[in-house]
């Protein structure tokens, strides 16, 4: 997990209107001086991104920025695959990795709103098929799973995975010989207690409670409602011409390699494929909801407020906390930021919103080896340039 993620920015009017075929400058709405200033900022962002990409041998990158209810910038840089001509644009899909957890947490909270789940209840109450050799498993609550305090380990691989619609259920049955890393709720550390396995189990809880396959539920009740029409938990729904390839470094040269997508049982913890076009739509929805606009029906404002309420503080950095799925950082100058990052061999991603100033950034890359650039350096550069 990234714990630095330092942010600074200055209020600047959004002057871009988003369409599915591009970004149109609203020249008639701005005095020429502001338009020139805006163009200068965009040029500086382009230069900064290009510099980081060149220095770190990054193949492709996409950046989405929202401000004051509109898209400020949504643009691709570089290539979808090394040594091939296809350039990245705002619709190019990348594996978002652990950013997926925001959508799993949202699905859980939708079911909470419907009265079907109580996050203070034990997971074993809803999933009796989930059992462990360690008897302490019976004390794990859904709240602890959402806040990475359950005691479940970092990750779990399902041996002989069927990689199909039965995988999540088989995953839930596969813990019988396992022990917890620590007693549920006993400690919190963003690195040491972080659990992909917990979120994969939460995905099965969504599936069992809703009666829909996890991927179908997320698509119908979150992605489509948010206007994320180009995103999917399942790679098969992403047109081949819209995909990016994962990359690793071989020596000093980027080559295709890593993970294009994980097995189906890891859908809830890391298999959302998305683009900055759609993540801008997501951030705009979240920011609108934080201001009381519940018109898209994704969540109630009170639910989002609960998800954004700190539950545990990071021992490494007292300004960083975990809410329900969302990570929280106090930026002092600009209020709290709410975010999630992700990486897998082949990809890295970050999504961060600043509701106090109605601002958000999403960055996607088809390489994990430059994760610090995606998580920290480019966001810092963008915010400072806008200032």
Structural domain includes residue 226: yes
pLDDT of residue 193: 97
The CA distance from 219 to 192, in Å, is 31
Low-confidence ranges of the chain (pLDDT < 50): 1-30
Could you tell me what percentage of the chain is helix, strand and coil, using 3-state DSSP and rounding each to the nearest 5? 40, 20, 40
Tens digit of each residue's pLDDT (9 = 90 or more) over 114-135 = 999 999 999 999 999 999 999 9
pLDDT of residue 1: 34
pLDDT of residue 12: 23
CATH code, domain carrying 164: 3.40.710.10
pLDDT of residue 333: 78
Structural domain includes residue 116: yes
The CA distance from 362 to 347, in Å, is 14
Structural domain includes residue 182: yes
Structural domain includes residue 174: yes
pLDDT of residue 34: 67
The CA distance from 167 to 380, in Å, is 40
Structural domain includes residue 363: no
The CA distance from 153 to 131, in Å, is 15
Structural domain includes residue 375: no
pLDDT of residue 4: 41
Tokens of 209: 């409670």
Three-class DSSP category at 157: coil
Element housing 360 (H / E): strand 359-365
> Smallest Cα–Cα separation from 271: which of 103, 38, 116?
103
Structural domain includes residue 144: yes
Question: Taking a C-beta distance cutoff of 8 angstroms, is the pair 257, 346 a contact?
Answer: yes
pLDDT of residue 386: 77
Structural domain includes residue 135: yes
Q: Is the sign of the CA dihedral 286, 292, 293, 299 positive or negative? A: positive
Provide the number of structural domains found in the chain: 1
Q: Could you tell me the pTM of the whole model?
A: 0.90
| Pairing, β 359-365 against β 60-67 | antiparallel
The domain of 197 spans 98-235+263-271+301-324
pLDDT of residue 217: 98
| Pairing, β 16-19 against β 347-354 | unpaired
């Amino acid at each position: 997990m990234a714990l630095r993620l330092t942010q600074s920015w200055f209020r600047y009017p959004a002057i871009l209107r988003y369409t599915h075929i591009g970004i149109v400058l609203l020249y008639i709405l701005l005095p020429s001086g502001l338009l020139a200033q805006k163009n200068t900022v965009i040029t500086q962002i382009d230069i900064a991104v290009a510099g980081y990409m060149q220095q770190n041998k990054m193949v492709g990158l996409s950046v989405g920025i929202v401000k004051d209810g509109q898209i400020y910038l949504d643009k691709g840089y570089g290539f979808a695959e090394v040594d091939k001509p296809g350039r990245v644009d705002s619709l190019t899909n990348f594996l978002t990795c652990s950013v997926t957890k925001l959508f799993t947490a949202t699905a859980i909270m939708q079911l909470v709103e419907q009265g079907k789940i109580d996050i203070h209840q034990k997971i074993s109450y809803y999933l009796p098929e989930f059992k462990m050799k360690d008897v302490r498993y019976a004390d794990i609550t859904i709240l602890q799973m959402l806040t990475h305090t359950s005691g479940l380990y970092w990750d779990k691989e399902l041996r002989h995975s069927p990689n199909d619609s039965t995988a999540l259920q088989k995953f839930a049955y596969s813990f019988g010989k396992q022990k917890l890393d620590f007693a549920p709720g006993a400690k919190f550390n963003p690195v040491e207690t972080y659990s992909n396995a917990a979120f994969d189990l939460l995905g099965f809880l969504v599936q069992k409670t809703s009666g829909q396959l996890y991927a179908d539920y997320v698509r119908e009740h979150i992605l489509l409602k948010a206007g994320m029409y180009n995103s999917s938990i399942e790679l098969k729904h992403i047109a081949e011409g819209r995909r990016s390839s994962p990359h690793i470094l071989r020596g000093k040269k980027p080559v295709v390699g890593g993970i294009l997508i994980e097995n189906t049982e890891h859908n809830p913890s890391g298999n959302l494929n998305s683009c900055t076009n759609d993540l801008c739509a997501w951030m705009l929805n979240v920011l609108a909801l934080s201001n009381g606009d519940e018109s898209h029906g994704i969540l109630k404002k009170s639910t989002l407020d609960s998800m954004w309420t700190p539950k545990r503080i990071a021992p490494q950095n007292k300004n960083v906390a975990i809410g329900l799925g969302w990570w929280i950082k106090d930026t002092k100058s600009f209020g709290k930021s709410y975010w999630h990052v992700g990486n897998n061999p082949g990809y890295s991603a970050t999504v961060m919103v600043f509701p106090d100033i109605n601002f958000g950034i999403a960055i996607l890359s088809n390489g994990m080896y430059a994760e610090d650039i995606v998580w920290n350096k480019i966001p810092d550069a963008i915010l400072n340039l806008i200032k």
